[in-house]
Structure 1
């Protein structure tokens, strides 16, 4: 499982001893505070000391949680390290959480990696519910994802489809790596919409190591983080090197976006229908039309997590991969 794998990869004997000792001490301190508290909690599987139910998640948590729901019911309680967690597994209860009580339960946990990667969780995915999040959501819906804006981007899709067909034709009669070509197509569409340029043709793309930066970003965001389950132990990431990896990756992206933003600021007079995501965000910042002022870090965070960019690079090409498998 992820927790044990993390321990294995971080198996410096001294560090491991210090970590376990501190967690045990913390466990005893918490036990004294919680001993007299009686909470009306949902059913819960048996827990282990210190890690609670972490060991029961396994490498495929969605399958493990389904198995626990079949055994303990549609609402269960799990103690994930220091984090008390309620798991919902029925349509009726999901409606209660996502619709009836959505305002109370709308904020996401601010993960250790997300706090570093998304400029203090100022993006639309991890920002806590409140005035700032509502403002960012409004900008995305009205300015970035409107039907008119999507229609304006149609010329990008048409041009990139033509390039995809040309690439496939050029590969004949040799072997065609269709998955790679479809990935390049999705990458170029999303980069042109977000940044106003494609990166698959070499040159800028290769010099900046753009794909490598994205791969590192996704690995750090999706990897196991001890601090997410033991917030009091976040300092351990400074010893394991994870914090320095996060900071290094953020600096690389920061320098890259600084260059892209400067180029956009120096190229004025672009037609409205030709403007990309960076242009739109800079216009909003410049004219002060937003309810709350946007900083450069806010703009970078929105770009990184926008559906057009970070997530879309992976998700948008999956249906095309599946379609090609049936051809």
Structure 2
């Protein structure tokens, strides 16, 4: 068995350490914003408390309008001044416009095919132009005034018909707004099944998800029922949206009066670049965002 002389071993060891040292020195050090000290695993979560916005304000007074927090293992930049926000949202918007990847929103919203979730690029620009030029124009919004007037009249008629009986006005306004959103987005009024699924989805997305902040603990969601509940909701919503697409395709002679009809017309013009998954993603995110806003405004 052959042995290397000690001086050869020492020389090789010295060369290796020198190489590692030089390699480390050549790596550019990133200049990061100031950051409070953090704990292992949880990062700065212990400094947020029950009112995170108050904690952000307190920390920003000490560390400045641009600071770095570690939420679990995820580094997060906190912007807390108008000047810093303008720099991020206007001057550096192309750098910060993409949302971070999330397996939950990726599964719930068809792989992030909507304009709000898709990464910045050609696909995002195309979807943005669809929303700006076809779905949310001033002329298009004015065309929905009739739906709003009709649903408002129906609500007033329901109040008049209640006579002296007490009514839950908050619930009536919420139902009226949901019917308007459904007719504008889906072409028909809401249903109990759809309301149930959207409520469940709001609860899932609003719940703390350990995988977002500690990806290495994502396996927990397979055992606490999170993944199974999300899968049930996603499957149910996809069945409803697929059924609506089939239904609206069968009524081609009708004038485009809702988002689904408009998107189907765009698909017929360029089928290869606008698949059903993109339509369902745009519809679902549009409907979910408005539904979630109503839920926030009129929750008990």
Same fold (TM over 0.5): yes
- The Cα shift of 1:37 comes to 8.7
Q: In 1, Cα distance between the equivalents of 2:237 and 2:98?
A: 26
Say if 1:186 and 1:317, in contact at 8 Å, map to a contact too. no
CA deviation map 1:63-87 (0-9, x unaligned):
2211211232211111112211111
SS at match of 2:223: helix
Partner of 1:310: 288
Partner of 1:277: 259
Q: In 1, Cα distance between the equivalents of 2:194 and 2:70?
A: 39
Say if 2:202 and 2:292, in contact at 8 Å, map to a contact too. no
1:299 aligns with 2:279: yes
1:73 aligns with 2:64: yes
Partner of 1:217: 201
Q: In 1, Cα distance between the equivalents of 2:156 and 2:204?
A: 34
SS at match of 2:94: coil
Question: Which structure 2 residue ranges, 5 or more long, are not aligned?
Answer: 1-23
The structure whose Rg is larger is 2
Say if 1:108 and 1:128, in contact at 8 Å, map to a contact too. yes
- The Cα shift of 1:136 comes to 0.7
Partner of 2:19: none
Say if 1:227 and 1:233, in contact at 8 Å, map to a contact too. yes
SS at match of 2:75: strand
Q: In 1, Cα distance between the equivalents of 2:227 and 2:295?
A: 31
SS at match of 2:246: helix
Give the aligned CA root-mean-square deviation in angstroms: 2.1
- TM-score, structure 2 as length reference: 0.85
- TM-score, structure 1 as length reference: 0.78
Q: In 2, Cα distance between the equivalents of 1:198 and 1:60?
A: 37
Alignment length (residue pairs): 274
**CA 1:220 to 1:270, structure 2 compared with 1: closer, same or farther past 3 Å?**
same
Q: In 1, Cα distance between the equivalents of 2:31 and 2:53?
A: 25
Alignment of 1:13-92 (within 5 A): 39-92=30-83
CA deviation map 1:88-146 (0-9, x unaligned):
11111111111111101111112231011111111121111111111111001111011
Q: In 2, Cα distance between the equivalents of 1:248 and 1:318?
A: 23
